[in-house]
Amino acid sequence: MEWQQWASVAFIDRKLLPASPGIYIITDEHFFVWYVGQAINLQSRWTGRAHHRYPQLIRTNRKLQHRIFWHLFLPQQLNEKEQFYIHLLRPELNGCKVKTYLPKQPQVEREIKRLFKVLNKTTMLFPVIRSAVAGEYVNAEGTRCVVTIIYTNDCLLLGKSARKRYSAEVKRAWGGFDCLCGRSDQFYKPLFVNAYEVGGERFEFVVGSDVLWHLGHHADAYRQSVGQGELFGVEVTTLHQLDVLALVEMREEYDLIGYDKKTLWDAAYLRYRKPMLAPLKSSGGNGH
C-alpha cells in the first residue's frame, strides 16, 4: 500500500518526527496497523508521554517493535485524510476505550484475525499479492477447511504465532495433520500440513511461493484468477478459479530419498486438494 512508502521512525525515535502538520500511522514490525491519527505538529503530538495512547504502545514496543509512519498534509486536509486512512486500514485501537495496556491478546479468534490482516497487507517485498485463499472443502469429519497459500517468508509469522508464550489457548489452536497427497505410504513420507482450528473450523496454510510470484508478475493471470472475500471481518485475497496451479511449475517432492521414502513438498498438497476445493463462500468463524 502507498502509505508503506511514507517516511517512518521507530517508536523510540519519535522525537525525530517533523514539527509539521500531517497524518501518522502506527504499526508493528509486520505492518499490522494499530492506530491512525492527525496532528498540527507531529513532533509535539508525540513529545514525551503526553499522547493518550503512549501507555498502551510503550508497554508492547519491545515485543511488537512499533513504528510511526507519517505524511505531511495541509491543516485543512487533516480531518478528511484521517477518516480516509481509518476507513482504509481499520486500525485496531481507533475507536476503542483507552486503557493502560493493549487489549488482551491473542484469544483464538483475535489471533486468526490478526494473521489474516497481516497476510493481506502488501509490502515492498510483496507489492501485488502476499497470500491467497485457494478455496474451502469439507473433510471426512464434516469440518469446514479453508486453504490459504502463503510465501515461504511468512512461515516465520505463523511460527511466532504458534509459539506465543502469553496464550496457551492460541498454542492449542495450532496443530496440523499428515497427508500422503494421494501417494502410497510404501514410497512416501506423509506431508505435515499446518492448521489453526477455531469455531469448529480449520484454517490450513500451505506454501505456494511459485503460484503467488506468478500471479504477482503476470497481470492477465492475476485478473483471471484473483478476487476478494472476507474472513473474520477481514478482506482477504482469494482465487475464484485454480487454473493457475496447472500453469505454474511446482516441485512436489524432494529429489533425494531419505530413510528409503520420498519427502513431499507443499505443492503436492495443493495439487492433491485442488479438485476438492470450492471458492471461499463466507466469513470464517461461523460468520464472525
Same domain? 140 vs 276: yes
CA-based nearest residue to 37, from 64, 14, 65: 14
CA 245 to CA 252: how far, in whole Å?
A: 12
Question: Element (H or E) spanning 219, and its range?
Answer: helix 219-225
What per-residue string of b and e applies to 25-49 under the rule 16 or more CB within 10 Å gives b?
Answer: bbbbebbbbbbbbbbeebeebbeee
Distance CA 169, CA 258 (A): 35
pTM: 0.63
Q: Which of 101, 130, 142 is nearest to 205 (CA)?
A: 130
Residue 100 lies in a domain: no
Q: Which of 54, 89, 124 is the last residue of a domain?
A: 89
Same domain, 158 and 51: no
Give, rounded to a whole angstrom, the gap between the first and last alpha carbons of the chain: 26
Q: What is the pLDDT along the chain (288 residues), one digit of tens a residue?
A: 689 889 999 998 999 999 999 999 999 888 888 899 999 999 988 887 768 788 878 888 888 899 999 999 999 999 999 999 998 888 888 866 555 445 554 478 889 999 999 999 988 888 999 999 999 999 988 889 999 999 999 999 999 998 876 677 888 899 999 999 999 988 889 999 999 998 789 999 999 999 999 999 999 999 999 999 999 889 999 998 888 888 888 888 876 665 678 889 899 999 999 999 999 986 554 444
- Which residue, 59, 89, 119, sits at the end of a domain? 89
The domain in which residue 218 lies consists of 108-287
Where residue 9 sits, what CATH number does that domain have?
A: 3.40.1440.10
Residue 259's SS3 state is coil
